[in-house]
Structure formats: structure tokens, C-alpha cells
């Protein structure tokens, strides 16, 4: 009996990225303009060098594999088939991309590139009619229906597929799922249109209409002083930091109690984090992940073109200042 011991190097969490062999690694390789110019300005050789260094340092480890009854000189192939690194995306466009080929490509990345999926549970589109939740697939959730649409983005349930079919699909791929959001006090995206007529009294409707008039304008919402002193000890986190309106809200807060967070996709775009730091807001930005992009959001800050001290503020120190109980060192 012969025993061969192999010393190999395991690369954690990146094995599925080989599914994207055709993805360009530089602006020069990006002949089809898959990514924007702003993206390639961020993804420069210096950043790539840091990524490569961090992979060597943090995502690789030595392992010993013992094989029995293997003849000397045999060729051995080792393939990583799973990992513990949570890397996912929302699956809101399931069967909605217009052609069977596009839909299949979309499905293929779950269980290969992505090992997690976020399912839409927005009440507004989950229960568009009272007491008739859209859990099961109906015709208007099918691929045939979406392939017939000339302007799918204007359908009321665009990016809101019925969840049962998504969960069944993900289970078949061995992909854990979570729903987003459970509840959200947002009239535009979450609260059903019918809820106001059915559940609000006439007085409540009048009061809500007054608030809409008063705060329906973004300038009124950001600059209004009506409640500034009353709630001066309250920490207000304005989620999904995106542009100058957010920056202005934090900078002009009378009591310095307005913070911004990086959750959602907006902070990936157009150097938003860099722009906020340039405006002196590094002590008012909190790390946020939202639904599925925990690692991606962390990486966006780690590789942002800002000083290291500002990265530490965003990733940890600002949160500890607001919530001292988070400091495990004490």
C-alpha cells in the first residue's frame, strides 16, 4: 500500500469566479464596454496589486491531503466544490430579462458564482390586492409573459417576482435565501396602495396629506428646523448614501446628529464614498450592507481612494462612538 502526501495551496471563496473567464481585467480588454469608465478608474493597477496581495495573505492557506493506494507518478486533480464565504446577490429579475438565453445566464450564476440569494418581499407588490398575496407563480410571473413585454420596467411587478418559484429554484441549487424587507415604512416602495383607504381614518388621511405637503419637497425635508431641537439627542441614519443631497443633510445638521450609511448599490457609483470624504464627512459615514453585499460593501470601502484613517472611521470607529457597547475591547 502506498500513501502519497500532497501539500497544496487552497484559495478560499474565489473558485467560482472562474465561471467568468471572459470578463475583462482592464479597460483595454473591455472591448465591449461592459463596465463604465468610472469603474475602470477605480479598478486600476494599484488597486489590483493590493487585491492580489490581500488574496495571498488572507485567502490562501496550506493543506495536507493524504491519498492511499495511489501509484507513483499518478496525476491527481483536486477541485474545490464549496466554501464558507457568503457571496450573493438579489434575484429580483428571475425570468424577466426578455429572452430564454438571458434568463438562463442569470440563473446559472446562482449556485456557481453566488452562494446566497435575496428574495423580494416588498409588501406593495406582494399583496397588490387585499388578502391576495402573490406567493405562487401566476401567468404574469412566467418567462413567457415577460418575454412578450416591450417595456417590462413599467410593469408594476418588475423586479418583484413571486417568491415561491424563486425559493424552489434556489433550494434546487443548494443556495440559501433570505427575504428583503420584512417591513419598511416606505409608502413608495413598500406600503400597498389600498392600505390607506382601508386602514386610515379620515383624520389620519388629512394629517398625512399635511405632512406630504410639508415634507414632500426634499429641501423642506433636509433643511426644515421644525423638529431639529426636539430630537437633538436622536441619531438619524440616512441610508443608501448617493449624492450631494445626502451630503448636505449631514453637513447642515444643526446638532451634528445626522449620519449617512453605505448600504445599497449607490455607494458603488461615481466615487460617492470618495466625494463624501472630500467634503469632510468621514466622521459621519457608517458602514452598511443592506441585503446581500456584505463583502462587496466592505471591499468598496477597503479599496476606496481615501486615507486609511477615514476607512477605519467608516468601518468601525464611527459606529463605536455612537454605540460604545459595540467596543469589544472594553
DSSP 8-state code for residue 128: S
For 16-71, the pLDDT digits (tens) are: 443 344 567 788 888 888 888 877 887 778 888 888 898 898 888 888 888 888 88
- Phi, psi (rounded to 5 degrees) for 328: -70, -10
Q: What is the pLDDT of residue 6?
A: 47
Q: What is the pLDDT of residue 245?
A: 87
Q: What is the pLDDT of residue 20?
A: 43
For 3-30, the pLDDT digits (tens) are: 444 444 444 444 444 334 456 778 888 8
3-state secondary structure of 287: coil
For 186-210, the pLDDT digits (tens) are: 777 888 888 888 888 889 888 877 7
Q: What is the pLDDT of residue 137?
A: 95
The CA-to-CA distance between both ends of the chain, in Å, stands at: 56
> What percent of the chain stands above pLDDT 90?
40
Bigger pLDDT: 309 or 222?
309
DSSP 8-state code for residue 90: E
Cα(11)–Cα(119) distance, integer angstroms = 29
Q: What is the pLDDT of residue 22?
A: 59
Cα(27)–Cα(25) distance, integer angstroms = 7
> What percent of the chain stands above pLDDT 70?
86
What lies within 8 Å, CB to CB, of 303 at 6+ separation is 42, 47, 50, 51
Q: Residue 13 in contact with residue 83, Cβ under 8 Å?
A: yes
Distance (Å) of CA 34 to CA 20, 25, 209 = 13, 11, 44
- Global pTM? 0.65
Mean pLDDT in residue range 276-288: 94
For 245-262, the pLDDT digits (tens) are: 899 989 988 899 999 999
Q: What is the mean pLDDT of the chain?
A: 83
Q: What is the pLDDT of residue 14?
A: 43
Q: What is the pLDDT of residue 13?
A: 45
Residue 147, CA atoms < 13 Å, CB-side half-sphere: 10
Amino acid at each position: 500500500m502506498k500513501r502519497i502526501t500532497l501539500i497544496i495551496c487552497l484559495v478560499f471563496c474565489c473558485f467560482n469566479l472562474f465561471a467568468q473567464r471572459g470578463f475583462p481585467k482592464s479597460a483595454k480588454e473591455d472591448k465591449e464596454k461592459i463596465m463604465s469608465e468610472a469603474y475602470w478608474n477605480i479598478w486600476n493597477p494599484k488597486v489590483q496589486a493590493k487585491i492580489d496581495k490581500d488574496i495571498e495573505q488572507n485567502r490562501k492557506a496550506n493543506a495536507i491531503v493524504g491519498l492511499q493506494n495511489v501509484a507513483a507518478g499518478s496525476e491527481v486533480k483536486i477541485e474545490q466544490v464549496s466554501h464558507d464565504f457568503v457571496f450573493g446577490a438579489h434575484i429580483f429579475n428571475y425570468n424577466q430579462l426578455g429572452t430564454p438565453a438571458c434568463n438562463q445566464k442569470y440563473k446559472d450564476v446562482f449556485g456557481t458564482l453566488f452562494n446566497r440569494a435575496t428574495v423580494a418581499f416588498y409588501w406593495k407588490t406582494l399583496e397588490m390586492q387585499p388578502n391576495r398575496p402573490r406567493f405562487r407563480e401566476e401567468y404574469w410571473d412566467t418567462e413567457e409573459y415577460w418575454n412578450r413585454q416591450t417595456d417590462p420596467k413599467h410593469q408594476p411587478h418588475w423586479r418583484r417576482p413571486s417568491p415561491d418559484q424563486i425559493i424552489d429554484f434556489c433550494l434546487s441549487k443548494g443556495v440559501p435565501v433570505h427575504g428583503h424587507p420584512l417591513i419598511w415604512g416606505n409608502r413608495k416602495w413598500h406600503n400597498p396602495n389600498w392600505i390607506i383607504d382601508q386602514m386610515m381614518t379620515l383624520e389620519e388621511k388629512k394629517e398625512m396629506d399635511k405632512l406630504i405637503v410639508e415634507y414632500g419637497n426634499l429641501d423642506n425635508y433636509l433643511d426644515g428646523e421644525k423638529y431639529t431641537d426636539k430630537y437633538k439627542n436622536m441619531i438619524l441614519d440616512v441610508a443608501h448614501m448617493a449624492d450631494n443631497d445626502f451630503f448636505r443633510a449631514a453637513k447642515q445638521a444643526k446638532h451634528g446628529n445626522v449620519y449617512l450609511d453605505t448600504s445599497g448599490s449607490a455607494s458603488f457609483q461615481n466615487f460617492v464614498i470618495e466625494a463624501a470624504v472630500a467634503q469632510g464627512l468621514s466622521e459621519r459615514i457608517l458602514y452598511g450592507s443592506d441585503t446581500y453585499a456584505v463583502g462587496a460593501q466592505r471591499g468598496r470601502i477597503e479599496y476606496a481612494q481615501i486615507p486609511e484613517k477615514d476607512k477605519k472611521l467608516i468601518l468601525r470607529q464611527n459606529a463605536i462612538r455612537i454605540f460604545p457597547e459595540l467596543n469589544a475591547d472594553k
